[in-house]
Structure 1
Amino acid sequence: MENQENIAKKWQICPECNGQGRVRQKIKRKKKLYYEKALEIYENTDQKGEKPIPPKSHLKICENCNASGIIPSENYPIPDTEHFPKIAIIGGGIGGVALAVACLHRGIPFTLYEKDESFNARMQGYGLTLQQANVAIKAFGIKKLKDGIVSTRHVVHNIEGKILGEWGKRKWLANNEKTATRRSNMHIARQSLRLELLQQLDEKNAVKWNHQLLDLKNLTDKTVELKFKINDEIKTTKADLVVGADGIRSTVRNFIIDEKLSPLRYLDCIVILGICPLKKNKTLKSELLDSETVFQTANGVERMYMMPYSSTEIMWQFSYPISEELALNLSREGSKALKNDVFERTKSWHSPISDIISGTPQENISGYPVYDRVVLNSDLFKKIGSVTLLGDAAHPMSPFKGQGANQALLDALSLAKIIYKNCKYKNWREDGIRTSVLNQFEKEMLERTAIKVKDSREAATILHSETVLIETNQPRGNILK
């Protein structure tokens, strides 16, 4: 699975854009003169009326780094403990590792802690769809995702197999539509993306595995004390900033935010996931299994979604409304009960659905109730000291818009950029890391993700209703807009 092209590269901040990926254009002389003249008139008329607003320069892509914010380097940047805060990242999933990588490129000192004993300690085998983050991935030093698969066709069926909608590059190109130039979605196994991010780290910054966070508290000097359990030992350490990137049931979040203020919210449905190998199942022959097609089938209540997982596997996601109690019970019964449930519900559906369910190894199946949370208020963050959250720890959302991993990656990149920009040339210790960095980061993060949480929640309803059966060549989530 190693991607030598990505491993061989070391990176550092682009000096032209200071790691931001964009630079400001020069303000045109004509605009400057117009402003200066308007200001002179304003000052000479006893400052009556509205004061002229200075012209702003527009941002453009940095050509030196091609918008990535980083350039190749012979060595890893030396951690700059003089100018930057020491960061403790809790959680070695996508968001946590991405933040570590972005900090490494910028010389921001960090330690990455993960409670699991190793990379493969838990089953984390589901697939991701990279949308906005497909473009941003190069900002983490990854030129090309080795195991990424681009989908060129998306189809929606009813259970008899009638096509209700179709879109994607293949259809657009066939019809000579202008939309054929739109960005493509990339599909990749979660562990494949996580590994490629981990491979960007050097040995000195490798993950601290088997570190279970027991406690954290803000100290009077604005640092944070952390207590970990490692096997049977207790370890205490300090950091200038703690970032919780430890998922929907975040331990960090539980320490700093009362669960009653933003509890888990059940979305009235269960999701069952499976990964089916195609080569071993020679009877599986269908144009839908060409490793470039995403298709979904629905009956107005239940919904099956299938996407390429690798060049030889397909991932399926089956969901339907159910009470929380029954969803929890079914999940606890395990993969055999989950597989039987899906098979019985879809055995009369169009080909090749039942064959794919039958051909999915039991150990490749998991299921869980679907939750999100009400979006946090930025004022609430201001009361939690030198601690913040990103990814699912901050804004968990349903999987039905495929935005979870995308937003975690964008969160990580945003935080690293703000730390670099606001701490490199200013004394952040005087005002504290919250005033210098966190208030800005959290405001940007919450504004960006609030609509994603909302849309993902609405999708949980739309995709299990008659709306999904409307005949239209567009994503189901766009129908009501």
Structure 2
Amino acid sequence: MEKEPLNWTICQECLGRGKKSRRISKKTRLLYQIALDEFEKTLGKGTAPLPPKGNLYSCPDCSGSGLLATANPPEANEEYPHIAIIGGGIGGMALAVACLHRGIPFTLYERDKDFNARSQGYGLTLQQASKAIQGLGIFSLKEGVISTRHLVHTPEGKVIAEWGTRKWIQSDIKTSSKRTNVHIARQSLRLALLEQLGGNNKIQWGHQLLDFKEHDDEGIDLSFQVDGKIKKAKADLVVGADGIRSSVRRQLIGENATSLRYLGCIVILGICPLSALQHLNNALLDSATIFQTANGNERIYIMPYSSGSVMWQLSFPMSEEEAKLLSNKGPGALKEEACRRTQWHAPIPQILSSTDENLISGYPVYDRELLKPEVLEKSGPVTLIGDAAHPMSPFKGQGANQALLDALTLARIIFKGCRPLSDWRKAGIRKNALMEFESEMLQRSAVKVQDSAEAAQFLHSEIVLHESDAPRRWFKK
């Protein structure tokens, strides 16, 4: 098979949006004009009719991705604003890739010394973003695993819910799903984004942000600590993609404005290779099944991490002080606590006991109160994406999905609003791009933050034990 191209540029037919608008019919334009004339006769009383918009459809030239293959990556166009992206996680790398495709100049700063500075981390489930990653030039994920079955059990092993394509096929129900959930390790997705970006030398590693300050005339000065020394840099726009404890957010709006909010539970994570479970003959370990077990207090969720391993996530209510104490005791204590609480049906005890302590982590679960657009409207040429903007609990699997959507949306809006010959330097990046982006981003993510916070409650209550072949989110209060 031919190697998939790594260089992409935007499709000129849809200008990188992946969608086009159908022409508005003559009848629709006429009806709008009649309604507008009637409104003007009332001298502005009532509500003005909204201009009609053509229905969107997938661009045929790029098959809806917004991208076309190219021999070399586009050259950066200095007439666009230069973006300083703070944070080389999923959101930061995705924004850098989306800017690269559009010729928007950027510098990506990451405080870690290199790509492998942190542990393997956790697994992700790409839901809405499984389509969005195509807009980042990633059309296949070599390490991705697709699940086709989802089960919910009682601790004794009784199945109280089942869904997924295998369930639909077996029950002969005519059901189709346009979306496919792809499970992938966080580092595997980061590596795919890094390959799109062009490798490690495209990131300024070991740069810890100290502060930033906007000039009265134009631009932003940034200060970093690098190898014990202070390093200065300039940018037209700063984007904080630096996680739930974002330093950009703290300097922008302060920590007290929307402080961390404890959600009343702790999460313990582990990764177990299937090779350690070869002695088990269990259908739940087929690398295509997700299963969870709950008793109204503890809840464990187990999903494919790769074709050769599974990731488990155990959560249960605990006071914030106790959660911090347990987390600080390290992986040994976390594993012992997890095993003690889950002497349930097979293969749960075997998975937990076979998990190496080096692949176990745990932390108290936090989010933040939802940001309002007016909090950011005086922020000038600075904005936030991902967990820096809308951190949420892990129980709906939305953190990475929303970060990827944020990144692609922001790049597309900058490309449109700050194009050459526009007045972005005079009018300001906020007016030309950030206001539209933040409005869309905060509105889209608000329901995900809310649902994720509610899940922290109902997944550890009797509601989760309701017998029905439907995702547990359907039984929240």
Q: TM-score, normalised by structure 1?
A: 0.95
What corresponds to 1:22 in structure 2? Answer: 19
Contact 2:120 2:187 in 1 (8 A): yes
Distance 1:208 1:45 in 2: 60
Distance 1:39 1:467 in 2: 51
Contact 1:284 1:356 in 2 (8 A): no
- Does 2:39 align with 1:9? no
2:195 aligned residue (177, 187, 199): 199
Contact 1:222 1:432 in 2 (8 A): no
What corresponds to 1:330 in structure 2? Answer: 326
Distance 1:76 1:292 in 2: 36
CA distance change for structure 1 residues 4 and 306 in 2, over 3 Å: closer, same or farther?
farther
The within-5 A match list for 1:33-48 is 33-35=30-32
1:91 aligned residue (63, 66, 87): 87
Identity %: 57
2:391 aligned residue (387, 396, 420): 396
Distance 1:235 1:48 in 2: 58
Distance 2:297 2:50 in 1: 55
CA distance change for structure 1 residues 158 and 46 in 2, over 3 Å: closer, same or farther?
closer
SS of the aligned residue for 1:199 comes to: helix
SS of the aligned residue for 2:361 comes to: strand
Number of residue pairs matched by the alignment: 476
1:106 aligned residue (102, 127, 130): 102
SS of the aligned residue for 1:156 comes to: strand
Distance 1:408 1:92 in 2: 12
Shift in Å at residue 234 of structure 1?
A: 1.2
Deviations along 1:185-228, one digit per CA (max 9) or x if unpaired, are 11000000000001001369711101111111122124211001
Identify unmatched segments of 5+ residues in structure 2.
none
What root-mean-square deviation, in Å, do the aligned CA atoms of Structure 1 and Structure 2 show?
2.0
Letter in 1 for 2:358: E
Distance 2:47 2:241 in 1: 46
Contact 2:260 2:366 in 1 (8 A): yes
SS of the aligned residue for 1:328 comes to: helix
What corresponds to 1:69 in structure 2? Answer: 66
SS of the aligned residue for 1:220 comes to: coil
Letter in 2 for 1:153: R
SS of the aligned residue for 2:304 comes to: strand
- Does 2:405 align with 1:410? yes
SS of the aligned residue for 2:175 comes to: helix
CA distance change for structure 1 residues 157 and 51 in 2, over 3 Å: closer, same or farther?
closer
- Does 2:376 align with 1:371? no
What corresponds to 1:318 in structure 2? Answer: 314
Contact 1:96 1:112 in 2 (8 A): yes
Between stretches 236-245 and 379-388, larger displacement belongs to: 379-388
- Does 2:187 align with 1:212? no
CA distance change for structure 1 residues 432 and 153 in 2, over 3 Å: closer, same or farther?
same
Deviations along 1:318-358, one digit per CA (max 9) or x if unpaired, are 000001111111111111100000111112x0001100111
Letter in 1 for 2:10: I
- Does 2:415 align with 1:420? yes
Distance 1:145 1:344 in 2: 36
Distance 1:47 1:297 in 2: 59
Deviations along 1:429-462, one digit per CA (max 9) or x if unpaired, are 1111111111111111100000000000000000
2:233 aligned residue (229, 233, 237): 237
What corresponds to 1:386 in structure 2? Answer: 381
Q: TM-score, normalised by structure 2?
A: 0.96
Distance 1:194 1:4 in 2: 23
Letter in 2 for 1:191: Q
Identify unmatched segments of 5+ residues in structure 1.
none
Between stretches 222-231 and 176-185, larger displacement belongs to: 176-185
CA distance change for structure 1 residues 475 and 42 in 2, over 3 Å: closer, same or farther?
closer
Contact 1:373 1:395 in 2 (8 A): yes
CA distance change for structure 1 residues 180 and 218 in 2, over 3 Å: closer, same or farther?
same
CA distance change for structure 1 residues 99 and 32 in 2, over 3 Å: closer, same or farther?
same
The within-5 A match list for 1:445-456 is 445-456=441-452
